[in-house]
Amino acid sequence: MSYRGPVTYRVIQWATGNVGKSAIEGVLAHPELELVGVKVYGSDKDGVDAGEICGIDPIGVAATIDDDAVLALDADCVVYTPVLANRDEVRSILASGKNVVTPVGWLYPFVADRVLGHVEDEPILRAAIDGGVTLHGTGIHPGGITERFPLMVSALVSDVRHVRAEEFSDIRSYAAEFVVREIMMFGKSPEETATSSMSSLMGGHFGESISMLAAELGFDLDADIQADHQWAVATAPIDSPVGVIDPGTVAAQRFTWTATVDGEAVITVAVNWLMGEEHLDPPWTFGDGQRFEVSVAGNPSLDVTFRGLQPAKPEDGLVRNPGIVATAMHCVNAVPYVCEAAPGIASYLDLPLIAGRAAR
């Protein structure tokens, strides 16, 4: 089924951080979408034209800090991109009769029960069904590299034995100080990093990715997903867009999640985040440069490498980070498909193939 045609879907952008600003530009470029509202959290952006917030020409849509005003707008879909999800906000958006596409959760919240999902997601599912709308979680990693692309590659393989999705990124290209220092925990002591909630927060999202792969491929997983978190510290000051990473503080991290069947690894998801390749202990490197990798072991075994989602140089990412743009566009391009989907929570398994649109 194709949704291309004369239909125009009215879109609200909720939050205008790095992803949100890219999403606004993506909505403006999409031939089937119209931006009708923008929700912001800071009073300094209240009433400001969305184009000005994005650093482009004015577009005639003023941002607002008022949730009720946004929810009262006549719109088909909300692209919801805060740093962390607020379940009450999402439930309110769905209850107002608006579809939601987001990169901050709900990739596959059906581990315990394919119909109702987790108990904590049941009110959100009910809000979607009662509102006659759909919630769809997407993104890059998790949100594409980890699920959509392994499943696509697996269509060429029989007897799938193992699936791996892995990221290698230079975090010096990511200029979001609060996220990098307070959520990702760079520049913190190893003791602080060891007790942070980052591993469990990411593990929840990647756990959904792993569950989606297992459900579609037919792996009957063991009960527990094994998590491993390692780090390297700076041996000298490292300059970064979020300030100097001091010697002795965390300057690189590796997260790995492994799902097993009868104790044997069948799905592995990993993240390698480095503040460059110099002055690290242990002396980690990217290996073959920044990239994302997808491997499917079977008959035949296939390996796919994605390049271009990271900037060529860290300073390039401060101007326009392609990974952030791609995250936003995976949301924006899903909007027409999600608006036409059955009410509820829809994963990639529930939607047709999502595609971009030709340049206008």
The pLDDT score that the predictor gives to residue 203 is 85
Q: Cis peptide before 123, with omega less than 30 degrees from 0?
A: no
Q: Is residue 131 in a domain?
A: yes
pLDDT at position 120: 55
Query: Which secondary-structure segment (H or E) carries 217?
Result: helix 198-217
Pairing between strand 226-234 and 280-281?
antiparallel
Q: Are residues 264 and 169 in the same domain?
A: yes
The pLDDT score that the predictor gives to residue 318 is 76
Helical spans, DSSP H, in 30-186? 50-54, 67-71, 87-95, 122-131, 148-154, 177
> Taking a C-beta distance cutoff of 8 angstroms, is the pair 238, 245 a contact?
yes
**Has residue 317 been placed in a domain?**
no
Number of H helices, E strands in the chain: 12, 14
Q: Are 16 and 119 within one domain?
A: yes
C-alpha to C-alpha distance for 210 and 257, rounded to whole angstroms: 9
Q: What is the reported pLDDT for 113?
A: 44
Residue 124: Cβ within 10 Å count? 26
134 shares a domain with 253: no
> What letter would DSSP give residue 348?
G
Does 54 share its domain with 102? yes
Residue at 183 is within a domain: yes
Residues 6+ apart with CB under 8 A from 103: 19, 81, 137, 138, 139, 140, 143, 327, 328, 330, 331
**Domain shared by 158 and 281, yes or no:** yes
pLDDT of residue 145: 95
DSSP H or E run through 304: strand 302-306
Q: Is residue 321 part of a domain?
A: no
Count the domains in the chain. Answer: 2
Residue 152: which domain range?
148-308
Whether residues 64 and 121 fall in one domain: yes
pLDDT tens for each residue of the chain, 360 residues long: 454 556 799 999 999 999 999 999 999 999 999 999 999 999 999 999 999 999 999 999 999 999 999 999 999 999 999 988 999 999 999 999 999 999 999 999 865 444 444 545 788 999 999 999 999 999 999 989 999 999 999 999 999 999 999 999 999 988 778 888 988 999 999 999 988 877 788 888 899 999 999 999 999 999 889 999 999 999 999 999 889 999 999 999 999 999 999 999 999 999 999 999 999 999 999 999 999 999 999 999 999 999 999 998 888 877 888 999 999 999 999 999 999 999 999 999 999 999 999 987
CATH of the domain at 87: 3.40.50.720
User: Does 88 fall in a domain?
Assistant: yes
Q: How far apart are CA 78 and CA 293, in angstroms?
A: 31
